[in-house]
């Protein structure tokens, strides 16, 4: 019975909970049992609190018994990436710098999930401070891909994707700065949604690059992603970048919005470096939409070739600024070997940060330094404007864009020791963050060796309803999301 529960989507579980066929305690126990059984191999969790989760589940069952259920998320165990604050729970960013830190408050998305009745379940592993594409840069060690434990789950939200794929949560939250939701979703064969910048509050999210970061859901189905997005979206005065806009019923909009649509195929995303099996799978997805009556147009995003350089100037500059607060004084790791105050800064940061975080801080400090600011950071911001304009120009002709999510399937742990090789994993996703757009990765096949493949759909700003409907049309005609890894 428990194995049946853990792989069911939220939409089905909510019906079963309302009909009293199952209880939230039963569902939560099934998730806990699964986590105990497989997480020693998957290593998706940094920590979890079984007693707290069961207490939340019991409270949900009591509400439902009293006729006070709060909607489809009430009683559903949802895991959170360990950069999202939960009052009284560890908040480590998978870093030695915050190894013993416990959050004193809730992130806005945490409060919203609590208000929706969700059971908050565990702290999920990630690349340290969300800097990476493989979840190998974690101070807690790498997470494994449930489809092949010798391979990475993607990153930086690898724990969130792997936990969902392995049946250790019913849905999860991650954060996406340059593809950190969509790429691991593709690697692990689940749905991953990066909302429009400003749609979901960043209050309570440990900052990496503040103009790029956005919280979003991992889910088994597009419908589930719509349900979770509806719960966490909305304006928040505590986030100065939060946008005031009406939040529709994304789930209801799935049924209301039907094609055919005009879909753009960016020619720059189908060239050198794309794995042939992934290219073939995405081409089949394009053929599906064409068969459904969608108009398929080739479009050009001419500044795509500058995306990687632009991203790694802007993201590292903002990381350098955001991570300056970790100095061994107020909170976080404090060196026991320092001889004076200046040495305390040096030693604490040297001991607390891992190699990739240090690399990005150094690069970001360099591009912001006197004499280089105009040459690098300011120029990158100008190119960012051109990249965004490319997308807006394309959207004058089409409703959305269809691309691969990643140029390659999940690779072996330790295979890409060169940082530049890892950076290239995000080549199809970073433009979406630079332009502040919504993007979703949906399963669209498997390689001959059994590794998941994801297709990315890129939508217009704040048009998540259309984006989700386009993705749902493909998902409903295929059964990729019904396959689960055998552990």
Residue 76 in domain: yes
Using CA atoms of 177, 327, 124, 431 in order, give the dihedral in degrees to the nearest 10.
Answer: 10
Residue 48 domain-assigned (yes or no): yes
Question: Band of the pLDDT at 191, cuts 50, 70, 90?
Answer: very high
* DSSP assigned state of 330: S
Q: Is residue 305 part of a domain?
A: no
Taking CA 338 as the corner, what is the angle to CA 337 and CA 340, rounded to the nearest 5 degrees?
A: 155
Is residue 355 one of the residues assigned to a domain?
Answer: no
d(CA 134, CA 153): 6
User: Is residue 303 in some structural domain?
Assistant: no
- pLDDT tens digit sequence for 368-421: 998 899 999 999 999 999 999 999 999 999 999 999 999 999 999 999 988 888
Running DSSP on this structure, what letter comes out for residue 171?
A: E
Q: Does 1 have pLDDT greater than 50? A: no
Q: How far is CA 195 from the centre of its chain?
A: 10
pLDDT digits (tens, 9 = 90+) for 196-234: 999 999 999 999 999 999 999 999 999 999 999 999 999
User: How many separate domains does the chain show?
Assistant: 1
Sheet containing 295-299, strands listed edge to edge, beginning at the edge strand earlier in sequence: 45-47, 119-124, 77-81, 171-175, 215-219, 191-194, 439-446, 452-458, 400-404, 262-266, 295-299
Six token digits for residue 162:
């792997």
Residue 312 maps to a domain: no
CATH of residue 15's domain is: 3.90.1300.10
The predicted pLDDT at position 67 comes to 96
For residue 149, give its domain range. Answer: 2-264+397-482
Active-site annotation, residues: 81, 156, 180
How much is the pLDDT for 308? 96
| pTM of the predicted structure, to 2 decimals | 0.97
> What confidence score (pLDDT) does residue 419 get?
86
Query: Residue 2 pLDDT > 80, yes or no?
Result: no
115: Cβ contacts below 8 Å, ≥ 6 apart: 70
Question: Is 284 inside a domain boundary?
Answer: no
In this structure, the strands spanning 171-175 and 77-81 are: parallel
In a domain, 73, yes or no: yes
């Amino acid at each position: 019975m428990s194995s049946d529960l853990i792989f069911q989507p939220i939409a089905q579980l909510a019906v079963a909970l309302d009909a009293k066929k199952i209880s939230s305690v039963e569902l939560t126990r099934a998730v806990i049992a699964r986590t105990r059984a497989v997480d020693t191999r998957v290593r998706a969790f940094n920590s979890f609190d079984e007693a707290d989760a069961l207490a939340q589940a019991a409270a949900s069952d009591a509400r439902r018994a009293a006729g006070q259920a709060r909607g489809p998320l009430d009683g559903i165990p949802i895991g959170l990436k360990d950069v999202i604050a939960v009052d009284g729970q560890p908040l480590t960013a998978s870093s030695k710098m915050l190894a013993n830190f416990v959050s004193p408050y809730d992130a806005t998305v945490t409060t919203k999930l609590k208000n929706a009745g969700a059971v908050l379940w565990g702290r999920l592993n990630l690349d340290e401070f969300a800097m990476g594409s493989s979840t190998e840069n974690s101070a807690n060690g790498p997470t494994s891909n449930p489809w092949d434990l010798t391979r990475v789950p993607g990153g930086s939200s690898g724990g969130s994707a792997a936990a969902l794929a392995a049946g250790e949560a019913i849905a999860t939250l991650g954060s996406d700065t340059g593809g950190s939701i969509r790429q691991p979703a593709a690697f692990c064969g689940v749905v991953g949604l990066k909302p429009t910048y400003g749609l979901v509050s960043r209050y309570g999210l440990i900052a990496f690059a503040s103009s790029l970061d956005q919280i979003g859901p991992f889910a088994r189905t597009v419908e589930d992603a719509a349900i979770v997005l509806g719960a966490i979206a909305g304006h928040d005065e505590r986030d100065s970048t939060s946008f005031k806009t009406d939040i529709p019923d994304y789930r209801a909009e799935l049924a209301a919005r039907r094609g055919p649509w005009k879909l753009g195929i960016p020619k720059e995303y189908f060239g050198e470096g794309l794995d042939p099996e992934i290219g073939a799978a995405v081409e089949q997805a394009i053929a599906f939409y064409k068969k459904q009556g969608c108009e398929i147009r080739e479009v050009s995003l001419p500044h795509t070739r500058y995306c990687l350089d632009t991203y790694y100037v802007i993201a590292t500059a903002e990381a350098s600024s955001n991570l300056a607060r970790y100095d061994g004084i107020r909170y976080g790791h404090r060196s026991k070997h320092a001889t004076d105050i200046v040495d305390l800064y040096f030693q604490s940061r040297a001991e607390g940060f891992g190699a990739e975080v240090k690399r990005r801080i150094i690069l970001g400090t360099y591009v912001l330094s006197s004499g280089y600011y105009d040459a690098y950071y300011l120029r990158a911001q100008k190119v960012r404007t051109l990249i965004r304009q490319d997308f807006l120009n394309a959207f004058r002709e089409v409703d959305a864009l269809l691309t691969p999510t990643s140029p390659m399937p999940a690779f072996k742990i330790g295979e890409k020791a060169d940082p530049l090789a890892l950076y290239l994993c995000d080549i199809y996703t970073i433009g979406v963050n630079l332009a502040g757009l919504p993007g979703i990765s949906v399963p669209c096949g498997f390689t001959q060796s059994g590794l998941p493949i994801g297709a990315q759909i890129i939508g217009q700003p704040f048009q998540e309803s259309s984006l989700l409907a386009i993705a749902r049309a493909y998902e409903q005609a295929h059964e990729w999301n019904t396959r689960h890894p055998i552990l």
